[in-house]
Copies of this chain bind each other. A is one copy, B any other.
Amino acid sequence: MITLYGDVTKTRANRCSWMLKEIGIDYVNEPLAFRPGAEKPAAFLALNPNGKCPTLQDGDLVLYESLAINLYLAKRYGGALGPQSPEEEALMMQWSFWVATEVEKPLLLTAAIRHLFEPKQPADEELAIAMKRLSRPFSALEQHLQDRDFILGDRFTAADLNVAAVMHFIPIAEIDVSTFTAMKRWLETCLDRPAAIDVQSVNFRVPTPKSSRDIFAMFV
Do B63 and A130 touch (CB < 8 A)? no
Q: Is A29 interfacial (CB-CB < 8 Å)?
A: no
State the oligomeric state as a number of copies.
2
Interface size, A (range): 35 or more
Contacts of A49 in B (CB 8 A): 139-140, 143-144
Given contacts A98-B65, A100-B97, contact A72 B89 (CB under 8 A): yes
Do A65 and B50 touch (CB < 8 A)? no
Contacts of A168 in B (CB 8 A): none
Q: Mark A44-76, 1 if CB is under 8 A from B, else 0.
A: 000001110000000011011101110110011
Q: Which residues of A contact B (CB under 8 A)?
A: 49-51, 60-61, 63-65, 67-69, 71-72, 75-76, 86-87, 89-91, 93-94, 96-98, 100-102, 104-106, 109, 129-130, 133, 136-137, 139-140, 143-144, 211-213, 216-217, 219-220
Contacts of A105 in B (CB 8 A): 105, 220
Given contacts A61-B87, A137-B50, A213-B212, contact A67 B220 (CB under 8 A): no
Do B68 and A90 touch (CB < 8 A)? yes
Q: In the complex, what distance in Å separates the CA atom of A157 from the CA atom of B97?
A: 19
Do A90 and B72 touch (CB < 8 A)? yes
Q: How far is the CB of A49 from chain B (nearest CB, A)?
A: 4
Q: Which of B87, B100, B143, B220 lies in contact with A216, CB distance below 8 A?
A: B220
Given contacts A49-B143, A50-B140, A98-B50, contact A90 B63 (CB under 8 A): yes
* 29 A-B contacts (beta carbon < 8 Å): A49-B143, A49-B144, A50-B102, A50-B136, A50-B137, A60-B87, A61-B87, A63-B91, A64-B94, A65-B94, A65-B98, A67-B93, A67-B97, A68-B94, A68-B96, A68-B97, A72-B89, A72-B90, A75-B86, A76-B86, A96-B97, A97-B97, A105-B220, A129-B220, A130-B220, A216-B217, A216-B220, A219-B220, A220-B220
